[in-house]
Amino acid sequence: MSEPLPSLAQRVVDATHAVFGQTPLTSAVQEACEQYAHDLANIQAGRGIDALLIAIVGAKGQGKTWAARQFVRDERLQSLLPSGDLSGDATTRLVWIGPLAPDGLDPTCEIYHPCPTEQLAAIGQSYVLLDTPGQTDANELAAKLARQALSLAPLKLLVIARDQLRAAANLTIARQIDGAACIPIITSVEPDEMSDGEGATLLRQDLRELRGQLEAMAPHSHMMPELLIPDFEITGDEAAAGAVFLRGVLDRFSELGVADGRLGNAQEQRATAATERLKAQVSRKIHTELPQLLQAVEQLHRETRQLPERVLDTLLGSSTVLSTGVRMRLRARLVGDTSLLWFPYRTLMSTLHLTQGAWDRVVLAMAGSVPSLFGALASWARNVRQNREFNTEIQDGIRRRTQQQLEERLRPLCERFHRAVLKLRPRDERGQDNAHTTGMRLSGIEELQTRSQHIFDAALDRHATPGWLVQLWGALGVVLFWMFMAGPIVLIYREYFVASYHVLSGEVATHLEDFPHPSPALLFTSLLLSLLPLAIYCMVVLTLSLSRRKVERVTRQVIEEHQRAISELKDERVIRLEYDDPLLQQAEFLLTLSE
């Protein structure tokens, strides 16, 4: 029975089976997940070797086994490590060399050469060498063993022959060793390239390109400087080449802090690299082999990304509509902040607020025009309705309009996505899913709705007229009103006080006719004459406090903060499309695995 897969790998396998059924793609993805599980097990357990594991990796025929021999001082053991391009010399099994044997050694594909620590080159701690088969070996088992071994060691020597610096196999290997410390070993370098001649310039160029490619393909690796080994078949001095190799490797080990145990975090880095490698591998298989599904989901994602902006546009309509709403709320704020003491200034301000757009009819109605009075009342009813509708939009508009947009714009795309997924499955596995109705929701809209309310309220708070200025305008309005209304009132009260004094003192005979009895028409006329200047004053106050520039500034700020809030929520993946359909959930997971 096979070992259980890690949670991520198991989810990938389950999703692949659910979406594609039993297809070659499913088998390829499952194999990649099993390799991932094997890599994690190797990273975490290290085959039970309680010592530093150094793997020598590379393509076939690059000199890996020769490099392994340079660590071994025992001549007998050196003779057991043949190397070469010929099938009889090439390594086809994992070769372990050191004082400790790995757990679960399989003699059919692995071999262990015991070697005490004192017979190995000293690096400051106990270690085990792992010589791997070539990644490009025609022997399928040998190539598979090499791939599996890449995850074992936190320290890798990547051996590349000089004439293979531009080979594509190097990039394949680099992707597999991501997360480990790596020392590139360049073998078979000709003598003229080791000097400062023309060959050296070309070599440096090739090395720069190689390093750039290795760093791109293995971003989590600690890539050490390249070590150049002269071609001893040309120089005829293999011992000197071995000395150059060993001296250069030990120097780089020292820089890595091998003797100090500074490679302790390599396990976590390699596990992270293995996870990202699995995600990239699965995504690459799906995107390469299923472009029609990718197009369907990209269109769906594009619409999903644009949906919050569309909702905002439909909520606000346009800057003109939003400006109207802002002006209404600022007017209401100005009236609400005015103290009740400032009568009748506050009452008249409330009337003008509710009859915005019909102030001329208000003035005529105050002059006695009955048709203008009805026109003012109609404007009042319209403004009350608009204000109520705008408040409803601010409080619940995003949520309601989002659902409407989902139904109108996304449901057809989701159905298309669903059909594209089903077409990828074998015909006998599609079942009755063709009749399935896709359910979906855009999560995060409640958060956006809440932020929208806060944005609007905060903008009004920042740009509302200061409280002290509101009260000052109210006091001046009351003073203006009584400047006109005080005359007849003072006259009436003066006559009333004189008549009352005469009655109380008894000095002069006083009759009821001596008390003032002004006609209602006089008081009504005086009130109208006093209210007209106050109305004009209130109109001036409203115009000055709600200038077009101020309203446009508030409107622009509200729109910008909404757009910023939407971007933040999308970046945090608070706003995202969610499916109620398990099939689409699995497909979405696979297609966004590498994001």
Domains of the chain: 49-263 (3.40.50.300), 291-465+548-591 (no CATH)
Q: Supply the angle between the helices 24-45 and 7-20 in degrees, to the nearest 10.
A: 180
- Tens-digit pLDDT profile for residues 382-391: 555 655 655 5
Contact 65, 86 (CB under 8 A): no
Residue 94: CA count within 13 A, CB half-sphere? 26
pLDDT at 71 (0 to 100): 92
Distant-in-sequence, close-in-space partners of 168: CB < 8 Å, separation ≥ 6: none
Contact 90, 137 (CB under 8 A): yes
- Tens-digit pLDDT profile for residues 186-234: 998 888 887 776 778 888 888 888 888 888 888 878 888 999 999 888 8
Residue predicted with more confidence, 233 or 308: 233
pLDDT at 370 (0 to 100): 44
Rounded CA Rg of the chain: 43
How far does CA 141 lie from the centroid of its chain? 42
Q: Looking at the predicted structure, is the pLDDT value of residue 185 above 90?
A: yes
pLDDT at 139 (0 to 100): 57
> Count H helices, E strands: the chain?
22, 10
What is Dmax (Cα atoms) for the chain? 150
Residues 566 and 29: their CA atoms lie apart, in Å, by: 36
Question: Which residues face 159 on adjacent strands?
Answer: 185
pLDDT at 432 (0 to 100): 47
3-state secondary structure of 574: coil
The residue-averaged pLDDT of 80-103 equals 71
Among residues 69, 117, 119, 116, the alpha carbon closest in space to that of 89 is found at 69
pLDDT at 247 (0 to 100): 92
Specify burial of residue 416 (Cβ count, 10 A radius: 0-12, 13-18, 19+): middle
Size of the chain, expressed as the number of residues it contains: 595
- Tens-digit pLDDT profile for residues 109-149: 788 899 998 899 988 888 889 888 765 545 566 566 666 66
Beta strand ranges found along 192-262 (DSSP E): 222-223, 227-230
pLDDT at 89 (0 to 100): 45
